[in-house]
């Protein structure tokens, strides 16, 4: 489906998880994210041929951020799109290039807090990613990518969900391809139900991204897991994203200020599901709640310590 001049959205799903990839057509083709190992051949290639183009016309693969369902097809895409250069932000390059690194550092990065996904989740994530595939171009944000003639896309750094998340913004047509930069009040399933909490690593970065997208004021917002949004829908999604941050911050503050002992991340995740959800997969609250509890430390309201081998938080002044 062409959603903007030269921008083709490809909707598919991973089970109940909605997915969207993008092909930007111009003098050459640009593919945005690679999905799973089978996505390049099963999703992108038929769409490319339906445009009367070939896989050799793909000259650029843009990775919006490092997550399994966005980088899992990198190796397969390298084999298929042999003329393409692979591009991502330098802050996400290690995760985007090697599934073993992202598995250890992103998905299994909570062991020190006493939390790990069930093995079935690790197995699922591993199945979503192919062999390692290096990036060719590392960027910082602010670069411009040419689509055709005088039609350019601006790369915008929108961190929070990951340190190196980027979006592509066209100031003339007023659209932004934002990947997973923001999540409203919840991730959603194919039926529109709340599936999991918004996963971001830094409160300040995520708020910065919300403000950045507001300042761009796109008429058309193109994500990878939500329907196409236009006009008021864009503003409502931005407002909902900010609302979640506010509520999560209030929850973290209440947990710390009201604590008479240790605050564990596992407890914060459970409370997040009760107060901010409910979510079908509440475990993903570990990302945001860790970010908000650490923010309490930065604000001088909490202290980090270790209890029973786990990192925990206490109210400042608690003995």
Please report whether residue 246 resides in a domain. no
Q: Residue 15 is encoded by which pair of tokens?
A: 């089970």
Residues 101 and 73 in one domain: yes
If one counts the domains in the chain, the total is 2
Q: Which pLDDT belongs to residue 150?
A: 85
Residues 256 and 226 in one domain: no
Residues 229 and 287 in one domain: no
Residues 265 and 234 in one domain: no
pLDDT in tens, 243-298: 999 999 999 999 999 988 999 999 999 999 999 999 999 999 999 999 999 999 99
Other beta carbons less than 10 A from residue 97's beta carbon: 19
Choice between 22 and 317, residue whose per-residue pLDDT is larger: 22
pLDDT in tens, 212-225: 999 999 999 999 99
Domain that holds residue 37: 2-241
Residues 19 and 122 in one domain: yes
- Whether the per-residue pLDDT at 9 is higher than 70: the answer is yes
Q: Which pLDDT belongs to residue 318?
A: 63
- Whether the per-residue pLDDT at 319 is higher than 90: the answer is no
Domain of residue 157, CATH code: 3.60.15.10
- Whether the per-residue pLDDT at 116 is higher than 90: the answer is yes
Please report whether residue 190 resides in a domain. yes
Please report whether residue 236 resides in a domain. yes
Lowest-pLDDT range, 145-149, 166-170, 232-236? 145-149
DSSP 249-290: HHHHHHHHHT-SS-B-HHHHHHHHHHHH---SSGGGHHHHHH
Residues 126 and 177 in one domain: yes
Phi, psi of 172 (to 5 degrees): -75, -45
pLDDT in tens, 85-113: 999 999 999 999 999 999 999 999 999 99
């Amino acid at each position: 489906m062409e959603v903007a001049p030269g921008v083709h959205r490809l909707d598919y799903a991973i089970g109940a998880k909605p997915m969207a990839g993008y092909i930007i057509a111009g003098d050459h083709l640009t593919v945005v994210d690679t999905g799973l190992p089978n996505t390049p051949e099963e999703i992108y290639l038929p769409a490319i041929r339906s445009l009367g183009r070939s896989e050799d016309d793909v000259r650029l693969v843009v990775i919006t951020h490092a997550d399994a369902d966005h980088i899992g097809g990198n190796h397969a895409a390298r084999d298929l799109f042999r003329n393409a250069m692979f591009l991502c932000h330098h802050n996400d390059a290690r995760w985007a290039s090697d599934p073993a690194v992202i598995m250890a550092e992103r998905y299994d990065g909570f062991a020190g807090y006493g939390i790990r996904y069930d093995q079935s989740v690790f197995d699922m994530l591993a199945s979503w990613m192919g062999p390692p595939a290096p990036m060719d171009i590392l960027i910082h944000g602010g670069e411009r990518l040419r689509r055709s003639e005088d039609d350019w896309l601006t790369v915008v750094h929108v961190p929070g969900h990951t340190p190196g998340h980027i979006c592509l913004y066209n100031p003339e047509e007023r659209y932004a391809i934002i990947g997973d930069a923001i999540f409203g009040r919840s991730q959603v399933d194919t039926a529109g139900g709340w599936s999991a909490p918004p996963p971001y690593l830094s409160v300040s970065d995520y708020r910065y991204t919300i403000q950045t997208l507001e300042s761009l004021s796109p008429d058309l917002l193109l994500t990878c897991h939500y329907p196409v949004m236009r006009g008021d829908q864009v503003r409502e999604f931005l407002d909902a994203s900010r609302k979640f941050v506010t509520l999560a911050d209030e929850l973290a503050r209440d947990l710390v200020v009201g604590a008479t002992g240790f605050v564990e991340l596992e407890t914060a995740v459970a409370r997040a599901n009760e107060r901010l959800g409910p979510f079908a997969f509440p475990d993903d609250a570990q990302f945001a709640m860790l970010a908000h509890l650490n923010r309490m430390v930065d604000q001088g309201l909490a202290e980090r310590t270790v209890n029973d081998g786990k990192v925990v938080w206490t109210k400042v002044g608690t003995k």
